[in-house]
Amino acid sequence: MKEDHVDRILGQWRTERPDLDVEPMGLLGRLARLATYLGREVEKTFLELGLTSASFDVLAALRRSGAPYQLSPGDLLATMMITSGTMTNRIDQLEKAGLVERLTNPEDRRSVLIALKPEGLDLVERAVTAHVANQHRLTAFLEPDERVAFDAILRKYLLALE
């Protein structure tokens, strides 16, 4: 099988540190590299619409929650692997861009509701359509049966870790 970038790294380690079993480094190295590449490809689609993966994630969470497209920062936080400070910043940017607004939550005044504005709703509808089309393109590198096997392993691995 053709040697790739990660194989060369493993070969160097096997020469320099033959005491180490670097087998797992191949899998984890490829996984990290692949995720970075795919993440950048995904980002390109959002950039064309004036979004980033980060801002899309917030808009998408609001959109898929269903009408009236409102969630608290805490709700949003629960679905993403970021800190509360980062979420505050993301919401600030989206608010500045006129895509969402902060509403006071009458039921709990510690809390806030982030609501999709019509401009945000319109944008995220177009963004998710383009994003899904792009995802089809990016997964087309694998055969259908490979995708099924891949997804099954990813799911198992994630469940074991989470």
Report what 18 binds from a copy of itself, DNA, none; CB cut-off 5-8 Å by kind: none
How many residues in the shown chain lie near a copy of itself by CB under 8 A?
61
Stretch that binds a copy of itself, among 43-51, 83-91, 109-117, 154-162 (CB under 8 A): 154-162
- For a copy of itself, what does the binding mask look like between residues 4 and 33, x meaning CB under 8 A? xxx--x--xx-xxx--xxx-xxxxx-xxxx
Helix (H), strand (E), coil (C) string for the chain? CCCCHHHHHHHHHHHHCCCCCCHHHHHHHHHHHHHHHHHHHHHHHHHCCCCCHHHHHHHHHHHHCCCCCEECHHHHHHCCCCCHHHHHHHHHHHHHCCCEEEEECCCCCCCEEEEECHHHHHHHHHHHHHHHHHHHHHHCCCCHHHHHHHHHHHHHHHHHHC
CB of 109 to DNA, least distance (A): 3
Contacting residues toward DNA, per CB under 7 A: 52, 54-55, 72-75, 77, 81-93, 102, 105, 108-112
